[in-house]
Amino acid sequence: MRQWLYPIVIALCFMPFISPAIALLIGLIFSFIGIKHPTLHKYTSKTLQVSIVLMGFGMSLSDVIASSKTGFIETIISVTVVMFLGIVLGKLLKVEKNTSLLIASGTAICGGSAIAAVAPIINSKSYQTSFALIVVFVLNAVALFIFPVIGRQLGLSQEAFGNWAAIAIHDTSSVVGAGAIYGEKALQVATTVKLIRALWIIPLALIIAFVNKSEDKKSIKFPWFILFFVLAIIFANLFPSLQSSYDHFSWLGRRGMVVALFLIGSNITVSEIKKSGPRSFILGITLWIIISVGSLFFLTL
pLDDT on residue 269: 65
Query: Does 218 have pLDDT greater than 50?
Result: no
Is 164 in contact with 299 (CB distance < 8 Å)?
A: yes
Nearest to 65 by CA among 158, 188, 171, 195: 195
What is the Rg, in whole angstroms, of the alpha carbon atoms belonging to the chain? 19
Q: Strand, helix or coil at 57?
A: coil
Query: Does 87 have pLDDT greater than 70?
Result: yes
pLDDT for 10-58, tens place per residue? 999 999 888 877 887 888 888 888 888 877 877 877 887 788 788 888 8
Residues near 18 by Cβ (< 8 Å), separated by ≥ 6? 12, 258
Q: Residue type at 139?
A: L
Provide the mean pLDDT of the chain: 81
Whole-structure pTM over 0.75, yes or no? no
CB contact burial 230-256 (16+ within 10 A = b; e otherwise)? bebbeebeeeeeeeeebeebbbbbbbb
* Phi, psi of 155, rounded to the nearest 5 degrees: 70, 35
Q: Specify the range with the lowest mean pLDDT, choosing from 259-263, 269-273, 291-295.
A: 269-273
DSSP string for 107-141? HHTTTHHHHHHHHHHHT--HHHHHHHHHHHHHHHH
Is 163 in contact with 133 (CB distance < 8 Å)?
A: no
In angstroms, rounded to a whole number, what is the distance separating the alpha carbons of residues 149 and 1? 49
Residues near 46 by Cβ (< 8 Å), separated by ≥ 6? none
DSSP string for 154-176? TT--HHHHHHHHHHH--SHHHHH
CB contact burial 23-37 (16+ within 10 A = b; e otherwise)? bbbbbbebbeeeeeb
Domain coordinates in residue numbering, the chain = 2-299
